[in-house]
């Protein structure tokens, strides 16, 4: 058997979902006996059969990916409740198995999957989707690529009608319906504060906070998720501020982006220019703009090598 073929067969076996009792299945997805599969790719030893040796890898794989997935989505776990989240995670990872060398990509397809499988979020659909989007944006902001920051001198001879400003790849823009940014920060803080408390105690506290948020009337919330000094921050945006940033990200020239965003603004006309100027000063100070002609750096995968923390900014 060639090495590549052996690796693929081993991967398929290891990634086969476990039974409800968290043991290896007796039948492979293609209908073959898992004992026959194990015998073809792994030898027994004086203590364990081929099946038992393969089962160790199968179980450890699933324990690790489920653990990593739960670490990335504590807010969604709070929204759905522990039991439903755990069952959802198994269903999601069965339908959307890992395709990457890194655990940070486990949740990359979660939002789309939840939209196609609304039964898992029944009763809290929009709140759950908002939370899933925010937590994935948090991951993207934490280890997304960064480019050289735009400098004031880069704009000296620029024509606003033609100038296109590019946002840093790690800056994530979200339009939400619920204050899931506040909720996620509360969940994380509570988890940190109650490390020694039981899971049941912690989940009861989460459910009280989640229930309060779920009862709120949906209301537009515009958010930027960004990174500074290896920490992720959530920044609430005015709707016009959000519209300008989205227009810039879509490739519109600076002048057109501002004009289209402010055309139906609720801000008093006499105050619009000052607001726009203040927003641009803030964005520039945060380093959100890339220097034109710069080349995107490779993604720095830090999601499993360092502690990700988020805060209000």
Q: What is the pLDDT of residues 143-182, one digit of tens each?
A: 999 999 988 777 766 777 788 899 999 999 999 999 999 9
Q: Per-residue pLDDT for 133 more than 60?
A: yes
The answer, yes or no, to whether residue 280 has pLDDT greater than 90, is yes
Query: Could you say which of 46, 68, 90 is where a domain stops?
Result: 68
Domain assignment of residue 83, yes or no: no
How many structural domains are present in the chain? 2
Confidence of residue 14 (pLDDT cuts 50, 70, 90): very high
Residues 289 and 154 placed together within one structural domain of the fold: yes
What's the average model confidence in pLDDT over 242-264? 93
Tell me, what DSSP letter sits at residue 147? -
153 and 55 housed in the same domain: no
The structure's pTM equals: 0.87
Query: What are the C-alpha distances in Å from 303 to residues 88, 102, 106, 157, 185?
Result: 22, 9, 11, 40, 18
Nearest Cα neighbor of 169 from 190, 147, 195, 193 is: 147
Tokens standing for residue 139: 């991951």
Quick check: is 109 in a domain? no
Q: pLDDT for 19-61, tens place per residue?
A: 999 999 999 988 999 999 999 999 999 999 999 999 999 999 9
End position of a domain, from candidates 35, 68, 101: 68
Residues 302 and 187 in one domain: yes
Say if residue 235 is in the same domain as residue 154: yes
In angstroms, rounded to a whole number, what is the distance separating the alpha carbons of residues 197 and 203? 10
Chosen domain end from 11, 34, 68: 68
Both 308 and 176 in one domain: the answer is yes
pLDDT value, residue 305: 41
What's the pLDDT tens digit per position in 174-198?
A: 999 999 999 999 998 877 665 555 5
Q: Which range, of 66-70, 111-115, 131-135, 206-210, averages the lowest pLDDT?
A: 206-210
Same domain, 155 and 276: yes
Query: Crossing angle, helix 180-193 and helix 199-214, to 10 degrees?
Result: 160
Instruction: For residue 211, give its domain range.
Output: 134-312
CA torsion 254-258-249-130 (nearest 10°) is: 170
Question: Is 143 inside any structural domain?
Answer: yes
- Whether residues 228 and 307 fall in one domain: yes
Same domain, 279 and 172: yes
Both 51 and 145 in a single domain? no
């Amino acid at each position: 058997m060639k090495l590549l073929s052996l690796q693929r067969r081993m991967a398929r076996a290891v990634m086969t979902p476990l039974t409800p009792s968290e043991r290896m299945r007796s039948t492979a997805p293609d209908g073959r006996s898992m004992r026959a599969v194990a015998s073809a790719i792994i030898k027994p030893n004086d203590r364990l059969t081929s099946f038992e040796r393969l089962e160790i890898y199968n179980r450890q794989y699933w324990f690790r990916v489920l653990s990593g997935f739960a670490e990335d989505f504590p807010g969604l776990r709070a929204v759905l409740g522990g039991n439903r989240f755990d069952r959802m995670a198994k269903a999601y990872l069965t339908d959307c198995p890992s395709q990457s060398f890194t655990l940070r990509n486990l949740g990359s397809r979660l939002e789309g999957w939840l939209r196609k499988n609304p039964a898992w979020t029944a009763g809290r659909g929009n709140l759950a989707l908002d939370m899933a989007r925010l937590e994935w944006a948090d991951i993207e902001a934490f280890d997304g690529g960064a480019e050289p920051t735009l400098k004031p001198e880069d704009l000296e001879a620029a024509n606003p009608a033609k100038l296109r400003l590019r946002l840093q790849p790690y800056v994530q823009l979200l339009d939400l319906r619920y204050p899931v940014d506040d909720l996620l920060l509360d969940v994380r803080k509570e988890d940190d504060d109650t490390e020694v408390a039981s899971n049941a105690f912690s989940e009861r506290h989460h459910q009280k906070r989640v229930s309060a948020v779920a009862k709120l009337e949906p209301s537009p919330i515009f958010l930027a998720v960004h990174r500074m000094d290896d920490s992720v921050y959530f920044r609430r945006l005015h709707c016009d501020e959000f519209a300008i940033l989205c227009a810039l990200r879509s490739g519109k020239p600076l002048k057109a982006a501002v004009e289209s965003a402010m055309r139906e603004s609720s801000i008093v006309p006499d105050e619009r220019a000052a607001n726009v100027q203040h927003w641009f000063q803030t964005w520039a100070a945060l380093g959100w703009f890339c220097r034109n002609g710069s080349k995107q750096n490779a993604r720095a995968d830090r999601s499993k090598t360092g502690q990700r923390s988020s805060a209000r900014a």
